[in-house]
Amino acid sequence: MKTALVTGGGRGIGRAIALRLVKAGFRVAITARTSEQLDETVALSKGAITSVTADMADPEAIRAMIAQVEQRLGSIDLLVNNAGWGGTFEPIWESDPQQWWRCLEVNLRGPYECSRAVLPAMIARHQGCIINIASGAGGHAIENMSAYVASKTALIRLTEQIAVEAKPYGVSAFAIRPGVVRTAMVEEARQKIPMIQNALNKGLESPPEAAADLVAYLATGKASRLSGRLFDVVHDPQEMVDRAAEIEKENQYLLRLKL
């Protein structure tokens, strides 16, 4: 049985992913800052999930958390970097530099630290998978969301970087766009970001289970040829795998500069 670690597993997308991976046969560990939320997820799994509290903006806490998970469940085969924060919603010149940077610490350094911690064992075993929960915000600018946009854009590129460096060792990495999910962040952001509210008004909302199903598919290894690519819940992942040659030839689903 393989082991999966899901960050931000106390609610929303992370909770749906954790519960879905239990059904897929994984030993699952979740982490978040709030133990109460973690306890709710564990209860929903009927005790099948292990939880460890940690702040994704604290590198030492991350390393200690991963050590605990490995001690309890063994080496991590699947890492899902889901924990994230929307930051504050205002123009750059009105933003608090410390809050702005904390968004980068949670959304980018957190996944980096988690990935860095689990990759040596994955490399040694020549197997493993890292899935980063990105966002549509990683592909374009959104007014008054500079920290979040910058963090998710960088996370998509970090995913590709991990994929390139780990490919010779049989380790894959993917970024996914979960769509507009009614998380706590979206509930806050829709009050201040018209684009988000407009998407909800148009019925473009995605259930967290869609992201969970996509993670479960990628965890099977069927899409390993497309490691480094960005997958979206609105696309059929099997259809993407079926046309992998075309995707590779045309450099699709990657961040690229058009001149």
pLDDT tens-digit profile of 46-73? 999 999 999 999 999 999 999 999 999 9
| Residue 247 confidence class, pLDDT cut points 50, 70, 90 | very high
**220: part of which helix (H) or strand (E)?**
none
pTM: 0.94
For residue 158, pLDDT over 90 is answered with yes
* Residue-wise DSSP of 148-186: HHHHHHHHHHHHHHHHHHHGGGTEEEEEEE--B---HHH
pLDDT of 88 reads 86
Question: Which residues are catalytic, by number?
Answer: 148, 152
Domain ranges of the chain: 3-179+205-249
pLDDT over threshold 70, residue 119? yes
Report the pLDDT value the prediction gives residue 78, as an integer from 0 to 100.
Answer: 98
Class (C level, CATH) for 3-179+205-249: alpha beta
- Please compute the mean of the pLDDT values over residues 173-202 and round it to a whole number: 74
